[in-house]
Structure 1
């Protein structure tokens, strides 16, 4: 690529002289009109020698406490797969098609946009988060998992499927009035403020003690594969410790990930 060959100092100098646009390709697609691609670590065998997934499976991750989770509708559209209908999307699961349909659209009445957003979320964020929590539990490190499904009042019309990527940040860091990247919002509602209070307190407690729980907060249960307990910030503003309500979806995603050639143009872990 770019006519640069060799591994000597001259080749390195040429690589360093390349403009940024030549390195990233001018965007996040594989050529004009091509599928989305994203820059990331390169397995060069020296600096980066294995994927995080491989390291976690082997128990080589850092021995630290873990808090991990995702928003309920991280991103919509063809982020992972270019399907344009529910039937087309379920078909990419191959022999898991019926299981995927039962998990994502059991009554057959969900809008494609919602199913697609859930699929994107589970493939790139939620199932990898569950995998990570299990990996840390396996080396006897506590893991706390959350699902953020609360939509602030001023974004209700813009986020019918649930909160998108990054929406949780303004709650966790108690900066709701700054809009969390969506511009200055109207005055937060009492419900918005209560969700902010709880979420910010959980994060502070975890940073201070390694346990997010504390006075005035609903119990956040430890996660482990046997109970699959998480804390959900629900759409109504309540924080509830419960068995993961997305378990069926994540189970079929986990199976699909074991046969990754079934789903093309996917995101990754």
Structure 2
């Protein structure tokens, strides 16, 4: 009798079970999507899935709205448009592999991409959501070195997302604040990231992912975004781990300004553009606005209710495990000054503190001065920010933090070798994507990429980068100062320039 009663129930469940036997067609809340498989047939790839409504017209400078439902199966086989920004021409060391495609570029940009090796929706694989850098004025999810196939082969689901940049993502104005139900404006790019994470929470199970095991990751402005999301109350429950490569915002001048100041700048810009109302600004062609106005987050009272430093000081952040660090040559400097000019600049800028600065960043020869200029710039922009995060988390947080220094000088031609372990240089290693760069790779590079991507994958899976056959990576503490040096022979060592970082933090806080 029991078997007879169960039979109708089994018949009802059979279509759903059959539908989930493979991921050729996946049902999301807005509709069904299909993608394609890689040549080996072991990874399903979906490109250009809408996670929010197109932020154009009346939705320009508004919190992202739900994606419009569609009928039938949406073919998601090509990257959607990158966010509105300037022409992505090569510059410095940044060749095409580091940049978005030339086309398409559009305000209609709120799409994401999924790489999954799951064979069924029941697998519950851990998820990594990657947030690109670009100074909050450029970037996009379609950059070659952000490809997710290699990481998906390691057992996680890899996702890249778009978010609005430049004036479209970070424009504040008194009238925008008034019309907002949250009485805030300026952080639309961060709201896009949050909307994408909500989409992941609601939909990733259908792709074989675990919505309760999501790690956010980013580099440069993407790392600063991760820092914001960890600090934001709106991020609660959307992720349980964070990877932050070269970027945070604990200390001025990288700490974010007030909404009042941002509104004043926005009002001034509107006048300059000849717009008397927000409606007139929304009617302006997107191309006319590129490169104008506010281009970074703001302490808006909603996404960021307080400064990041104050949020962490009060232990109000989302307390999750963190993997963070920066690169040996993480700097943006022009041609170096000679020793005499370097010393003169330091004395003029730091006055009474100049002797200590020159002790920590010496320049007795031109060669030594050139190295110190790179290191000083590195520590001011990136080092002291991520270093502060490491110390705050190890002292106040319950979750562990793991710190690295990427030291491998990327092999290159004579034109590029001068950049060393440059800003963004670690990304292709961390996500096992060396194949996308035309460089004279050596066996040590392939091994480092295997090691780093294994650390990153382990962290996504367990909140701890360590694993079988990997050099031991101790959690960071202010007492031991142990970090992982990711170079030709990865090894854990005490932070080599702690004294310099401490001094720079002290001076920055005193300003």
What TM-score, normalized to structure 1?
0.77
Residue 85 of structure 1 and its aligned partner are, at CA, apart by 3.3
Deviations 1:158-202, CA, capped at 9 Å, x for gaps: 2446311110000001011211xxxx223x211111111111111
Match of 1:126 among 369, 380, 383: 383
Larger Rg: 2
Residue 22 of structure 1 and its aligned partner are, at CA, apart by 5.8
Deviations 1:117-146, CA, capped at 9 Å, x for gaps: 211211111111011112222122200000
Deviations 1:219-259, CA, capped at 9 Å, x for gaps: 1111111111101123xx01110110121221121111112
Q: Which residue of 1 aligns with 2:43?
A: none
Match of 1:11 among 259, 277, 283: 277
The answer to which of 115-124 and 46-55 deviates more is 46-55
Runs of 5+ in structure 1 lacking a partner? 28-37, 261-269
In structure 2, relative to structure 1, the CA distance for the partners of 1:174 and 1:4 (3 Å cut) is same
Matches within 5 A, 1:44-55: 44-55=300-311
Aligned residues: 235
In the alignment, is residue 185 of structure 1 matched against residue 443 of structure 2? no
In structure 2, relative to structure 1, the CA distance for the partners of 1:42 and 1:245 (3 Å cut) is same
The answer to which of 47-56 and 68-77 deviates more is 47-56
Higher strand share: 2
SS of structure 2 residue aligned to 1:67: strand
Deviations 1:61-101, CA, capped at 9 Å, x for gaps: 1110000001111123269xxxx932144222333212211
Q: CA RMSD in A?
A: 2.8
Match of 1:136 among 381, 389, 393: 393
1: distance between equivalents of 2:288 and 2:345? Answer: 34
In the alignment, is residue 208 of structure 1 matched against residue 461 of structure 2? yes
1: distance between equivalents of 2:430 and 2:355? Answer: 37
Residue 24 of structure 1 and its aligned partner are, at CA, apart by 5.6
In structure 2, relative to structure 1, the CA distance for the partners of 1:78 and 1:151 (3 Å cut) is closer
2: distance between equivalents of 1:117 and 1:23? Answer: 34
In the alignment, is residue 158 of structure 1 matched against residue 416 of structure 2? yes
SS of structure 2 residue aligned to 1:258: helix
Query: Does the 8 Å CA contact 2:327/2:421 hold for their aligned counterparts?
Result: yes
Match of 1:73 among 329, 334, 344: 329
Q: Which residue of 1 aligns with 2:429?
A: 171
SS of structure 2 residue aligned to 1:93: helix
Match of 1:58 among 314, 320, 326: 314
2: distance between equivalents of 1:247 and 1:118? Answer: 13
1: distance between equivalents of 2:352 and 2:286? Answer: 43
SS of structure 2 residue aligned to 1:230: strand
What TM-score, normalized to structure 2?
0.42
Match of 1:100 among 333, 346, 357: 357
In structure 2, relative to structure 1, the CA distance for the partners of 1:4 and 1:76 (3 Å cut) is closer
Runs of 5+ in structure 2 lacking a partner? 1-267
SS of structure 2 residue aligned to 1:125: helix
Q: Which residue of 2 aligns with 1:257?
A: 508
In structure 2, relative to structure 1, the CA distance for the partners of 1:22 and 1:253 (3 Å cut) is farther
2: distance between equivalents of 1:253 and 1:194? Answer: 34
